Structure 1
Amino acid sequence: MTSYALSSSSFCRNSRIPAISSSSLSRIPHLNVNNKLTLAPPQFLKASVSLRGFSVPVKFPSARLRVSTRCEKEDTNKGETEDEAERFARRESTMPDRFRHLTKEAPDTPVRWPWFIALAFLVYAWRAVLFELSNWRNTAFAIVRFLGDLSKLALALVFHFIGDPITSLIALVETAIYSVRAFYSGIVAYTPVRELTTVILLASSVLAIGEAVAPNSISKQPYVVTLAGLLGYAAVQGYISEPLFWTVLVGLYGYSRLMKKRDDVTSALPSAAVLAGVGEPWVRVVAIAGYLALAMYHNSTKKSSSEEEEGQSLRKAPPVPLLAAALAIGVRLAAKWAGYRHLTWMIV
């Protein structure tokens, strides 16, 4: 018996064999495992070929046979792979490809009720976390309060034994800070520029006379000159009385002349400079004239042949009192200029 396989490439590509009805099932020899149909009679094959894609008006008995075929490629390996993929995609379906998009499954409505269960668990877990965090917060606050109580106890013990010295030291530091602040504010606001300029000029003239007659007379006694300047400032501000002021000036002269064994011009230099700077007008005139006469007498009686000439130092620092007065003038002028500029910009 000759069999014909329905495996033509031109016939099988993207095609399906319609339902075939037969009056007798005995004419079909067998249907193999791979769903390949082998037909014995050639006329049945010819009829099936001629009926491809058309409706058959012939009526057959109730037996119907549904056959699905698969195309065989020339390359066996490639054909087997495509057959498996097509079988998985088609799932033993005989529906044509042009109707395949109609068989897509509609998406199901999302199920939301499990989220409510998860939400309940989340709320419960969050409340548990908040409760635990509140416990930790209370514990941390308790530890901080305990440490604070310990620090208070330690501070109380310290102040019980040495409280008065610490209080006095704090008061002293506070007073010093406020004094410096008030002093600076007074310099900025109330520095007498004209009077300080006069003081600097007169004191510098006395110092110049002393340096001309007795070289290095200022550098030999910098502390005495500074003390004399502070003494003059205290007398002007009223911190010391006038008799005390004159007494201290005489003591400075005696210290330089008797203790340090210096000459009269060098010993009288600090007192004469202070009197010329902060004294009344007649005191200034007397101090400058008397010191000038003393310098001239000392210069005339000095024997250059017997005494060695002392070399003058070219690099000398100015006396501290004069430097402080000049600094006060500069601060006052700078503050006044800054305030003027600030007000000018505000007005503009």
Structure 2
Amino acid sequence: MAARGQSSMPERFRYLSKEAPDKSVRWPWLIVLGFMLYAWRTVLWELSNWRKSIFAIGRFLQYLSKFALALLFHFIGNPLTSLIHAIETTLYTIRSFYSGLIAYAPISDLTLIIMLTSAVLAISEAAAPDSVNRQPYILTVAGLIGFCAVKNYITELFFWTLLVGLFGYGSLVKKRDYVSSSLPVATVLAAVGEPWVRVISMGSFLGLAIFHYSRKKIVDSKEGEENNGVVNRVPIPLICAALAIGVRVAAKWAGYRHLTWMIA
């Protein structure tokens, strides 16, 4: 009313400037509610479309998996049967190997192999400390190569190629000295080579070790003390050979004791 009193509007028109009473508006709320219902209907329709799409993709993947299984059964047969056959073959192979080990393990040859290989390892540790401890996997691979050569699983040319590869891997890739690089080759040749090959390989390796020892002072890089050449990691092929001898001797002793008990 004070604002109207200060207005420049003529007095006869001032009654027209009174505020109109606010009426409650109901229809817009109904419109908003209808719009929300339509929006939810649209959302549910889109979700139903996505649900149909997901089910269609699932059915396609199901058909695809059935097709893959059909191809698998067609080419290799029943996987369960193949798995059972593979397990039976593996168990039969292990059993035959164990039986052959007990019956035909050459104790004298394995003992000679252990002695010659131990001599090569001792020469290597004396000339190049830790040459055995820092390459156990290479020595294991060398033992497998020697075993395959003895069993005629690989040809002689491939055997020598693998030995050259072992030497090149240690010398060029690992950047080791010549004694450490030639250690796997010398151990294999001393273990499974012919007598003249053993003599030549061990003599050559001994000369190489003496030459290397004369040029380089043996100093421990960590402690600065003289290394005693102790082998902390016995190569796995030597352990396997020792186990073969132990199993054969134990089997013979058990058979002898059982025969003695039966006689008694």
TM-score normalised by length of structure 2 = 0.67
Aligned match for 1:262, one of 164, 172, 176: 176
Specify which structure has the bigger relative contact order, considering alpha-carbon pairs within 8 angstroms and separated by 6 or more residues. 2
In the alignment, what sits opposite 1:204?
118
Please name the residue that 1:317 is paired with. 233
Whether contact under 8 Å (2:148, 2:154) holds in the other structure is: yes
Q: Which position in structure 2 is the counterpart of 1:252?
A: 166
Letter of the 2:173 counterpart:
M
The alpha-carbon deviation at position 168 of structure 1 amounts to 3.0
Indicate the residue corresponding to 1:336 in structure 2: 252
CA distance in 2, matches of 1:266, 1:347: 55
- Asked whether 1:220 is paired with 2:134, we answer yes
Mapping for residues 26-65 of structure 1, pairs under 5 Å: none
1:236 to 150, 154, 164: 150
CA apart distance, 1:312: 6.1
Shift of 1:304: 6.1
Distance 1:184 1:217, change over 3 A: same
Q: Separation in 2 of the partners of 1:303 and 1:189?
A: 49
> What is the deviation of 1:178?
0.9
Local SS of the residue matching 1:330: helix
Taking a change above 3 Å as real, the CA distance of residues 325 and 304 of structure 1, as seen in their structure-2 partners, is: closer
Q: TM-score, with normalisation over the residues of structure 1?
A: 0.51
How many pairs were matched up? Answer: 191
> Deviation at 1:273?
0.7
Unaligned 5+ residue runs, structure 2? 1-68
User: Are 1:216 and 1:312, in contact at CA under 8 Å, matched by a contact in 2?
Assistant: no
Identity %: 56
Matched-pair contact (CA < 8 Å) for 2:186–2:202: yes
Report Cα offsets for 1:234-268 as digits up to 9, x if no partner: 11111111111111011000000000000000000
Kept in 2, the 8 Å contact 1:210–1:265? The answer is yes
What is the letter of the counterpart of residue 301 of structure 1? R
Name the Cα RMSD after superposition: 2.4
Structure (1/2) with the larger helix percentage: 2
Q: Distance in 1 between matches of 2:196 and 2:172?
A: 29
Q: Secondary structure at the match of 1:270?
A: helix
Structure possessing the higher radius of gyration over alpha carbons: 1
Gaps of 5+ in 1: 1-158
Q: Is the 8 A contact 2:142 2:188 kept in 1?
A: yes
